[in-house]
Amino acid sequence: MKENNVMEPQRETPVYDTVDVLVLGAGPAGWGAAVSAAREGAKTLLVEGSSDVGGVATTGLMSHWTGNTTGGIYEEIISRTHNVYGKNPKLNDQEMRKYIDHETMKTRALQMMREAGVKLLLNTMACEPYMEGKRLAGVFVENKSGRSLIRAKVSIDCTGDGDIAARAGAPYFKGRESDGAMQPMTLMVQVGGVDVERMEYVYAFEDSYEVPEGDIQKLARACIPAPAGHVLVYPSVFPGVVTLNMTNVTGMDGTNADDLTEAYIRCREQLPEIMEFLQKHVPGFENSFVLKSASQIGVRETRHFIGMKTITEQDILSARVFPDWAVANAHFNFDVHNITGAGLDETGCQKKFSQKKGYTIPYGCLVPQKVDGLLLAGRCISGTHLAHSNYRVMPICANMGQAAGIAAALCASGGIQPRELPAERLQERLTALGVRPE
Ligand SMILES: Cc1cc2nc3c(=O)[nH]c(=O)nc-3n(C[C@H](O)[C@H](O)[C@H](O)COP(=O)(O)OP(=O)(O)OC[C@H]3O[C@@H](n4cnc5c(N)ncnc54)[C@H](O)[C@@H]3O)c2cc1C
């Protein structure tokens, strides 16, 4: 036993439920996974640590769904959850569908889950794997009722960080291959009272514009202490409201509780300086105020699991169609934020990125090495640091969830392990649902 550790007394733990498919985390990936598994007829339980479903999309106060996929559950999600009441005259109808009304989204996500027959446990942390040999046979969870076990034929880790996959012994690395450095964290913020007719949105890192005292990005670097200091201001569906992606914490690990706590504190400390900069220097913000901040900090990057297959930046650049594809028609750029300060990392490219066709993600990226009974979906799948900066966006994560949910249901009904599932069986179901490489 390690020095300073204690041995917990043995205890009897109740079995809360036994299911076909257990989904851990209700972000875009977990949402897609749980609904899809349940629609395939699997008895499905979705466990979420916070009090809301949607993950970074809702509790992370995300501005919009960015990047794209066609033909999968992502399209259904935006068609069912977009705000039908608000209207931002600067956004066309197509753009309006991608901007998030968080409260509408939470309610409609719950509706989708209920309709599909997903059983939901909120405010419940997935804590420890329950192993039978090298097979994950269930997960210990903790909530208001105490500690219990959920037995499952197949579990899908959609916690973003892959908490249970890591504790089950699935191999992974963190961050950048060269040094393990991870992308910064950001607490998203909604600001009200903005005269949006007199300001400009700043969607991409390469974007800038002139305010009375000069270039807005140069001025922000001079006025806002690092590692914040880059201006990203997104529209919203509400009148006079914008979303700021401007707090920034570098050199922290989103799987470390002390780092996470410190990151929340630093982001909140940066906020008054960010607001003062906008109010003083940016036309349209004179009377603005902080409407709300996210209840969960946005963690961009932590663990990359090593799967049966690994997707790379070359696969993305060449829009590769893998024969064993599980996600099709995925589009985005390489979105690597500066790992040590404000702005974009030198390897990230947004506007300069060009790729005519979408790429695919092979099924093997969702299947971790060494552990059976387990699939991965969302930002923790098997890919390189640079590839991850592309597939981590929510549309792609939601469709990974769809693929993992269907695969898990097929494995559960067929009594096989995820690594034994022929990709063609998954593709048959996906194709029937309208997902296929174009
Ligand atoms: C600051 C920031 C800005 C971004 N901007 C955009 C953007 O504009 N557009 C876009 O499309 N994407 C954007 N992304 C990327 C995208 O939001 C995430 O990569 C995506 O949400 C990942 O989806 P996920 O389902 O894997 O994880 P998450 O969305 O992180 O969901 C994970 C869920 O699991 C739950 N959970 C975690 N651990 C446990 C546990 N142990 N037990 C139970 N539940 C647990 C969490 O509460 C959460 O609900 C951004 C990300 C960040 C951080």
Band the pLDDT of 1: cuts 50, 70, 90.
confident
Band the pLDDT of 205: cuts 50, 70, 90.
confident
pLDDT of residue 393 exceeding 80, the answer is yes
pLDDT of residue 176 exceeding 80, the answer is yes
Protein residue whose Cα sits closest to atom 53 of ligand 1:
298
Protein residue whose Cα sits closest to atom 26 of ligand 1:
378
* Mean predicted confidence (pLDDT) in 403-417: 98
pLDDT at 327: 98
* Mean predicted confidence (pLDDT) in 308-322: 96
Quickly count: other Cβ atoms within 10 Å of residue 133's Cβ.
8
- Distance CA(438)–CA(259), nearest Å, equals 42
Q: What is the 3-state secondary structure (H, E, C) of 32-74?
A: HHHHHHHHCCCCEEEECCCCCCCHHHCCCCCCECCCECCCCHH
Cα of 295 from ligand 1 centre, angstroms: 12
pLDDT at 92: 84
Residue/partner pairs of 94-97 with CB below 8 Å, 24 or more apart: 95/64, 95/235, 96/237
Identify which of 23, 45, 47, 62 to mutate to test ligand 1's pocket (most ligand atoms within 8 A of the CB): 62
Cα of 161 from ligand 1 centre, angstroms: 9
pLDDT of residue 81 exceeding 80, the answer is yes
- Distance CA(325)–CA(161), nearest Å, equals 23
pLDDT of residue 78 exceeding 80, the answer is yes
Residue 69 near residue 358, CB atoms below 8 Å: yes
* Mean predicted confidence (pLDDT) in 321-350: 87
Is residue 26 in contact with ligand 1, taking CB distance under 6 Å? yes
Cα of 408 from ligand 1 centre, angstroms: 21
pLDDT above 70 covers what percent of the chain?
Answer: 99
Q: Which residue has the higher pLDDT, 96 or 370?
A: 370
pLDDT at 193: 98
Residue 339 near residue 181, CB atoms below 8 Å: yes
Q: Phi-psi region for residue 132, left (φ > 0), alpha (ψ -120 to 50) or beta?
A: beta
Asked which of 5-9, 76-80, 94-98, 412-416 is least confident by mean pLDDT, the reply is 94-98
* Mean predicted confidence (pLDDT) in 152-159: 98
pLDDT at 301: 98
The tokens 């903790």 sit on which residue? 142
Is residue 331 in contact with ligand 1, taking CB distance under 6 Å? no
pLDDT of residue 4 exceeding 80, the answer is yes
- Distance CA(310)–CA(171), nearest Å, equals 13
Closest by Cα among 187, 162, 313, 176 to 251: 176
Band the pLDDT of 315: cuts 50, 70, 90.
very high
SS3 state at 334: strand
Would you state the structure tokens that stand for residue 64, as one six-digit string? Answer: 């919009």
- In this structure, is the dihedral angle defined by the CA atoms of residues 217, 222, 223 and 227, taken in order, positive or negative? positive
Quickly count: other Cβ atoms within 10 Å of residue 398's Cβ.
31
Q: Using one digit for the tens of pLDDT, what is the confidence trace for 137-150?
A: 999 999 999 999 99
Is residue 333 in contact with ligand 1, taking CB distance under 6 Å? no
pLDDT of residue 270 exceeding 90, the answer is yes
Cα of 300 from ligand 1 centre, angstroms: 8
* Mean predicted confidence (pLDDT) in 65-73: 93
pLDDT of residue 90 exceeding 90, the answer is no
Band the pLDDT of 61: cuts 50, 70, 90.
very high
Closest by Cα among 294, 402, 381 to 70: 402
Band the pLDDT of 82: cuts 50, 70, 90.
confident
pLDDT at 43: 98
Closest by Cα among 200, 227, 186 to 285: 200
Is residue 394 in contact with ligand 1, taking CB distance under 6 Å? yes
Q: What is the pTM of this model?
A: 0.97
Band the pLDDT of 264: cuts 50, 70, 90.
very high
Q: Using one digit for the tens of pLDDT, what is the confidence trace for 337-375?
A: 888 888 777 777 777 777 778 999 999 999 999 999 999
pLDDT of residue 86 exceeding 80, the answer is no
The tokens 């219990």 sit on which residue? 148
Output b/e per residue, 420-434; b: 16+ Cβ within 10 A.
ebebebbbebbeebe
In the 8-state DSSP scheme, what is residue 8?
Answer: P
Rounded to 10°, the helix 73-81/28-39 angle is 110
